[in-house]
Chain A
Amino acid sequence: MAAIVVEELHKSYGSLHAVRGVSFSVEPGEVFGLLGPNGAGKTTIVEILEGYRRRDHGRVEVLGADPATAGRDLRRRVGMVLQECAVEPYLTVCEVVELHRGYYPKPLLTDDVIELVGLEEKARVRVKKLSGGQQRRLDLALALIGDPELLFLDEPTTGFDPSARRNAWEIVRGMRKLGKTILLTTHYMDEAQNLTDRVCVVSAGEVVRIGTPASLRAERAETRIQFIRPDGVSVPEVGEVVPGGEDGLMAMITETPTKALHELTAWAVARGLELQRLEVSQPSLEDVYLELTGDE
């Protein structure tokens, strides 16, 4: 049985049709990424699954229950990291985690969870005094303390510095190894690429693509070749010339990189030229994402 089922989900706010017939399902043990630009409807979808919002139409199932009516039993099995969500500022990290621990039937140990999110040095510090990134880690700790089967992470690493993000990724990977199901939303393509088994790209309330990060990247077969344009010579166009992104950088994309590269380097070698900063790259998930969501 799927951990999450969403079928033909619709939600409007007044005249704004925010979610337009979204369908997907998440298997147990899967890390599923919901990607999309701001206003695409990601948070609305997640909040319907979390039980915060009522859907207008469609079928939704979370761990076999309808989140709109399931209540406390479902919330015991689910952990959530919400966007912008305060914690009692005058309690310490340890006190808040311990308080939340009491809400669940089979919680983890407070010290373990605090250590897991890397807040052990701040355990006796009041929440008020934590930095934004540290508060976000506390959010993660509160989502984990109940030892949930399913985790909703709505932009869990926004505001993290790079090392804190890597750390959060390790936590998510650790959760995955323990067999937890995770649904996360993110703006960061490297996050989706590194963490998720499958991603669902939404744009303007509709699903534009569902697949593994690798399968999405494979949709764009072109390889990109780029280098510093040599002075005073005209370079053969071995592929479609695209904007280089910075001054003096020449970029071409091709579906036959071996042949194109051979022609290019043969041409350069024949003239005794060294192509500075020569680089051959596959399209990233970000390129595909930007193309799919029409932001390019």
Chain B
Amino acid sequence: MSDLAIGLRQVRAEQRAFWRNRAAALFGFGFPIMFLLIFGTIFNKQSTCVDGTIGARGQCVGGAEVPYNNFFVPAMAAWGVITTCFSNLTIGVVNRRDNGLLKRLRGTPLPSAAFVSGVLGSALISAVIVVALTAVVGHLLYQAPWPAHPLPALVTVLLAGLVFCVIGLAITPFIPNADAAPAVVNFTSLPILFISGFFFNFNNAVFADIAKVFPIYWFKESMLIAFGAEPSSSGWNGQDLLVLLIWGVLGLAVTLRFFRWESRRA
């Protein structure tokens, strides 16, 4: 069997295990969809300011005033990618490192690259599904438009998904054990999610500057553009994707240097 075929079989096995593991499926899909239903309902028909700041009388300065759900659907889709690619993947890999599954695989002729491709490929499939589901729910319940630029949207989701997978792999060596994994992924993603303006636009220059260090902010921006919530002619924004790529390269370097296949018990 060729390495490509082995990699594809790994993807299939990972997907099968993912959907049978209700906790993982819920963790990946539950949060973004649940918040879409709550906030989407509360702020339906209201408007929000994207790509600008809110002036003293609440007016949108330098940006565009759009229906809240036009903004919120791509934001929650982005969060879905982060939960499936970063949160779920990290928790899953740390679990498997601690229970010895990774060690077992190292003793078989399965190439490490094929195993990692399986994990990443499966996470990307889940990411595309969560984005599609978010778009459908947003469109049916809240009349949010379909993604204005489908190709940039797909490329952005796949690229960002890959980057968040790699960042997830990169932080696993610093998570001591499986019990700590959910806390670590939530602690590293949720605060950045809030200050990156996933739920509301807000005026806080300090938070905004901090948020701009991290890939989560840039991913949200590129999703707003690709979905058409921010005005753009092409749906592409090179700067957003470049920052994501830089984070991906950093993550890859840390992974290659520090990744562990066994827990540190012995």
Contacts and interface: CB of A to CB of B under 8 A. Distances in A.
Contacts, number: 69
B109 A88 contact: no
Contacts of B20: 90-91, 126
A295 interface: no
B101 A80 contact: no
B6 A88 contact: no
B183 interface: no
Nearest to B5: A102
B100 A76 contact: no
Interface residues of B, number: 25
Contacts of A72: 109, 111
B212 interface: no
A209 interface: no
Given A90-B16, A90-B21, A82 B107 contact: yes
B126 to A, nearest CB: 14
B107 A52 contact: yes
Contact of A76 (B109, B262, B266): B109
A87 B16 contact: no
Interface in B77-98: 96
Contacts of A103: 6, 108-110
A95 B103 contact: no
Contacts of A219: none
Interface string B109-131: 11100000000000000000000
A86 B100 contact: yes
A85 B16 contact: no
A102 B8 CA distance: 11
Interface in B231-255: none
Contacts of B104: 80, 82, 85-87, 142
A6 B96 CA distance: 31
A126 B16 CA distance: 12
Contacts of A50: 107
A99 B108 CA distance: 11
A104 B100 contact: no
Nearest to B266: A13
A50 B100 CA distance: 15
Nearest to B22: A90
A87 B17 CA distance: 11
A20 interface: no
Nearest to A43: B266
Interface string B2-43: 000110011001001110110000000000000000000000
B197 to A, nearest CB: 36
Nearest to A145: B108
A84 B103 CA distance: 10
Contacts of B109: 72, 75-76, 103-104, 146
A100 interface: yes
Given A88-B101, A90-B21, A100 B108 contact: yes
A146 B262 CA distance: 23
Contact of A86 (B10, B96, B106): B96
Contacts of A75: 107-109
B99 interface: yes
B204 to A, nearest CB: 43
A75 B6 CA distance: 16
B1 interface: yes
A13 B103 CA distance: 19
A89 B20 CA distance: 10
A89 B5 CA distance: 23
B1 A102 contact: yes
Given A84-B100, A102-B1, A91 B108 contact: no
Given A86-B100, A99-B9, A103-B6, A91 B110 contact: no
Contact of A85 (B1, B6, B103): B103
A100 B115 CA distance: 12
A116 to B, nearest CB: 18
Contacts of B16: 90-91, 95
Interface string A113-141: 00000000000001000000000000000
Interface string A227-266: 0000000000000000000000000000000000000000
Contacts of A142: 104, 108
Contacts of A99: 9-10, 13
Nearest to A80: B107
A100 B104 CA distance: 11
B13 A91 contact: yes
Given A86-B99, A87-B101, A99-B9, 4 more contacts: A85-B100, A88-B101, A103-B109, A103-B110
9 contacts: A51-B107, A85-B99, A85-B103, A86-B99, A89-B21, A90-B17, A91-B13, A91-B16, A102-B9
Interface of B: 1, 5-6, 9-10, 13, 16-18, 20-21, 96, 99-101, 103-104, 106-111, 262, 266
